[in-house]
Amino acid sequence: MNGLKVCTAIRNKDFEDDVIKAVKEMGWTHSYVNMDDIVNENRKTNQVFVVEDNYASILNLIEFHNSSKLNFMPVVVLSSPDSKFKDWVKGVKYPEKYFHTSVNTFRYLSAPIITAMVNLAESYHNRIFGLFRECTDSNFKNNQLDMRAFLDGELKFITDLLYAERGSIMLLGDKNTLIIEAATKASLVGLEVERKPDSVAWTVIDTMQPVFVENIASDPRFKKTAGYAKDYFLSLPIFLNKKIAGVLNLSDKMVSLIFDTNDYEKAQSLLAVMEPYLYIYKLTKYVQALRNKQ
């Protein structure tokens, strides 16, 4: 439970001070709920919200994130006897992401309730990656002869998980080009991108390092193009058998200002699951090419 951050929004400041004191005694850190906690930090499992139900606007914003099956922001919802919003939790999509209790109960059981919710979120997070493995395996079985259909399914899962409105998977071709094998914009699939060292994708290929861009208009490495509705995106290398093989591009994030290291770490984990399947496709293609030459 190291590094746990507890974010609170409680009307009674004396009670909130007591909660903060208990949090610090447990060795955890505290933050009053702010936009960054909700928008940029929701992918972490070492964070829990304690929010009184009178702060309905805060809870509604959290629920926007939690309504995605792939996210789990653990929330303790507190109700006082005079609360007008006791039924708020009845309207959430996934009730298991919330622990609804009274202010008085939480006063005596704050530490075990917070601990239980964080552990539940971590377990849920692990199950999501298990789900991705299952989906990838099923996707591969259903598309053994169609790599683009396989990659299309993988890309849809990845963009959903990381809240990207746009994305693409580009693989190195035989003619020193990058071929768009999957894209949220279907018309791009099959296009070849010739080598251009100052482009984002080729920078990733040449450096074998991810590229985070917060504002492409002011980033001296690249020129702004009409291809990005927003100025921030994440591109990271795809490796096969420890060799650079392509690029995963994610852009136009829906719910936060920028892509961050949490997005990168999640994307890396997903690519690690996908890699052996993609390697089989590449080997199959190589064998077919040899057969055609015979």
Q: What is the pLDDT of residues 235-279, one digit of tens each?
A: 999 999 889 999 999 988 776 556 777 788 888 989 999 999 999
Statement: residue 43 has pLDDT above 90: no
What single-letter DSSP state applies at residue 187? Answer: G
Six token digits for residue 56: 């309905």
Q: What is the pLDDT of residue 10?
A: 95
In Å, the largest CA–CA distance within the chain is 82
pLDDT of residue 226 exceeding 60: no
- Looking only at the bridges linking them, the beta strands covering 98-102 and 75-79 are parallel
- Structure confidence at residue 223 as a pLDDT band (50, 70, 90): low
Q: In this structure, which amino acid lies at residue 23? A: V
* pLDDT over 60 (residue 48): yes
Rounded CA gap, 170 and 159, in Å? 15
CA separation for the pair 144, 284 (Å, rounded) = 10
Question: How sure is the predictor about 89, in pLDDT bands with cuts at 50, 70 and 90?
Answer: very high
The token duo for 156 is: 């849809």
Closest among 112, 111, 45 to 72, alpha carbons compared: 45
* Pick from 26, 36, 77: nearest CA to 54: 77
pLDDT at 215: 47
The band of 50, judged by pLDDT with boundaries at 50, 70 and 90, is very high
Q: How many CB atoms lie within 10 A of CB 98?
A: 22
pTM to 2 decimal places: 0.72
Instruction: Give the residue ranges of DSSP H helices in the chain.
Output: 13-25, 35-39, 56-66, 103-142, 147-161, 200-207, 261-293
Surface-to-core class of residue 248, CB atoms within 10 Å of its CB (0-12 exposed, 13-18 middle, 19+ buried): buried
pLDDT score of 229: 45
| Closest by CA position to 103, among listed 7, 9, 25, 6 | 9
Q: How far is C-alpha 64 from the geometric centre of its chain's CA atoms?
A: 14
Residue 223 structure tokens: 């020129």
Considering 31-35, 69-73, 212-216, 260-264, the range whose residues carry the highest mean pLDDT is 31-35
Question: HSE-up of 178 (CA within 13 Å, CB side)?
Answer: 27
The CA R_g of the chain, rounded to the nearest whole Å, is 23
What's the confidence (pLDDT) of residue 41?
52
Instruction: Supply the DSSP symbol for 1.
Output: -
* 3-state SS assignment for residue 101: strand
Q: What pLDDT is recorded for position 128? A: 81
